[in-house]
Each structure stands twice: as C-alpha cells, then as structure tokens.
Amino acid sequence: MVFQGRSKGVLMDGGSDTIHATGLDAHTSVGPLASRIRGLRENASMTQGELASRVFVSRQTVINWEKGRTLPDAESLKRLSSVLGITLDALLDERSEERLRQIEGERKIFKLAILFECLWSLEKLIGVIVVTIAHKFLDPSAAYQIADVERIIGLAISLAALIPWFKVGGIKIDHDLQSVVEIAAYLEGYPPGAELPQTFAWRWLLPHWTLVTVTFVAFALVLTYIPLIALRLS
C-alpha cells in the first residue's frame, strides 16, 4: 500500500510489522517520518514501550522506526495514526509537525488554566485563614489592610485565569469539544470515542472537575471556619 512498489529503496520483511530501509546509508540522517513518530510519541508523554504495546509491536521495533532503520508497514501505520491521534495522511505529511506544535501549545494553555483554578481555590482558603486571624489579633486598621491585600491578590489571580480559560473555550469551539474530559482526551491524542484509561483522574477527577473543586473549597472552608470561629469566641 503506502510503500509497495519501491523495490530499490525498501524490502518487505515477511510477516513483520516493518519495512526495512535497505537503500539508506548507515550515516543518513533520520527521515521525516521517523522524526514525526518520535515527536508525536513524546508530545503524548508515552515511552517507547507504551507505544509499542498499544500498536502491538516490540519496543525494539519502535526504536528502529524512530532511528529510521525500518519503516512501519501499512497496518502499523494505521495503528500509529489511531494511537497518536492523527490521521494517516497527516502522519505521512510534513504538515503534521505544525499540528504537533499547535497541540503542544494547546496542552500548555489547558494546564495553565487548571493551575490558575487551583491557585484561586488555594488563595481563597489561605485568605480566609489570614484575614480571620488578623481580625482576631491585630487592630482593625491593620486587619482591614490585610483584607484589602487579600482581595487584590484574589482579583489578580482571577483576571490572570481569564486568559487561559478564554483560550480553552476557543479550543472547545475549534474542535467541537464539550467537556473537560473531551478536551483532555483530545490533547493527549485519543481519537473521538476511544476508550480512555481507567484511572482515578480519567474516571472521577476530570468528569466532575467543577464539582470536585467546589466541594474541595467548601470542605476546606468548613474545616477552617470551625477552629477560627472557636478562636473568635474565645
């Protein structure tokens, strides 16, 4: 299929998952397909062994692909495109490198958005503790100054978080994604409808992200307010 008919450059290895690149000098630089396979794998945060298990080949086969020693056969190319979340045409096309850079940028934006949300939750929790203690042990003027600083910090984090979350909204629209799980799956290279890992993050954390963050803040505030109320009453 993809590499059939090139008898001078490659030879089919009967029954294997590779096509041997016999026409290449041992010192030839790694070809574009080899570089793309490695780049896509690294951007998906997969080891060579993990990729090998998902495309049903040995780790040494993946090493050979990435070093340009052998080329994937047609069936392996289909599996690679599915596992790496890219079409077969894009995998064989140099334009896939542009897609790699795009996905990497989108992944950083998503992680930044999650980070800012966690920072905002943490700031609110610490702010409640600091302001309450300030009102208990400091004079009103100093306590109100601390409260003002806390509000400014919270506002700054909220405003900073708007930028990555606005861009995440753009990612959702551009790729027709509906939820945090779908965004994460897309950025990790899972094709639509693919079975996702059965881990805590994928099964419980991401599907209920908003509920988890709200519950965490509420629970933390309750645990914080009990001793602080007791402190105020003492």
Q: CATH classification of 11-92, choosing from 1.10.150.120, 1.10.260.40, 3.30.365.10, 3.40.920.10?
A: 1.10.260.40
How do the pLDDT tens digits run along the chain, 234 residues long?
A: 333 333 333 333 333 454 445 443 333 345 678 888 888 898 888 999 999 999 999 999 999 888 877 778 878 888 898 888 887 777 776 655 566 677 778 888 988 988 988 888 888 878 888 887 887 788 888 888 988 898 899 889 989 989 998 998 888 888 888 888 888 887 776 667 777 778 887 888 888 877 877 787 777 667 666 766 666 666
d(CA 108, CA 85): 18
For residue 96, what pLDDT is reported? 55
For residue 134, what pLDDT is reported? 83
For residue 128, what pLDDT is reported? 80
Q: What residue type is 132 in one-letter code?
A: T
Q: Which residues of 92-122 are buried (b: 16+ CB within 10 A; e: fewer)?
A: bbeebeebbeebeebbebbebbbebbebbbe
Domain residue ranges in the chain? 11-92, 103-233
d(CA 220, CA 203): 23
Ramachandran region, residue 68 (left: φ > 0; alpha: ψ -120 to 50; beta: rest): left
d(CA 12, CA 133): 74
- CB 104 within 8 Å of CB 44: no
d(CA 18, CA 10): 10
Beta-bridge partners for 72: 18
d(CA 23, CA 165): 50
Which residues have CB under 8 Å from 185's CB, separation 6+? Answer: 194, 196
Rg (Cα) of the chain, in Å, rounded? 26
Alpha helices in 44-178 (DSSP H): 48-55, 59-67, 74-83, 88-92, 96-137, 140-174
In this structure, how many other beta carbons lie within 10 angstroms of the beta carbon of residue 227? 11
Tokens of 75: 């069936």
What's this model's pTM, rounded to 2 decimal places?
0.53
Tokens of 72: 């994937």
